[in-house]
Amino acid sequence: MRWILVGVVAVSVLTACTVATTSSSGISGDLTFTGGGEVISTSRTPWAAAPPHLQPGSVIAYAEDGTQRGSVSFPAGQGFSLSLAPGTYRLISTSSGSDAVCLPRNVTVIGGWYETVRLICLIK
């Protein structure tokens, strides 16, 4: 009976460690537009480009073998966070309610870390 209890505890601990490792790594970031030619005048830099505004959208992460490993949608003004296991991913983003063209991005996730990414969509 004692060995059964030890076995159950060991399996529980290993399962908990596996879940913790997976959820402690991934990506976090935001989606912005670039282009459009909008300029604003400020006291420091007259005619500087307008600061980036966080756009609404979604991101899908694909593993190197092409399988989808995660996705997230987010509203305007907020960034995103997506838990991913360590590995290399291709991020495909779209902007909600816009015809902007979003650029794909490759990212490598390291265990125990959230890689920060800024995803860019081009506007005319």
Architecture label for domain 25-123: Sandwich (2.60)
pLDDT in tens, 44-78: 555 555 556 789 999 999 999 999 999 999 999 99
Alpha-carbon distance of 87 to 85, in angstroms, equals 6
Where do the structural domains in the chain lie, given as residue ranges?
25-123
Tokens of 110: 């390291």
Local structure of 58: helix, strand or coil: strand
Alpha-carbon distance of 70 to 26, in angstroms, equals 10
Element (H, E) at 45: none
Please give the mean pLDDT across all residues of the chain: 80
| The pLDDT of residue 80 | 96
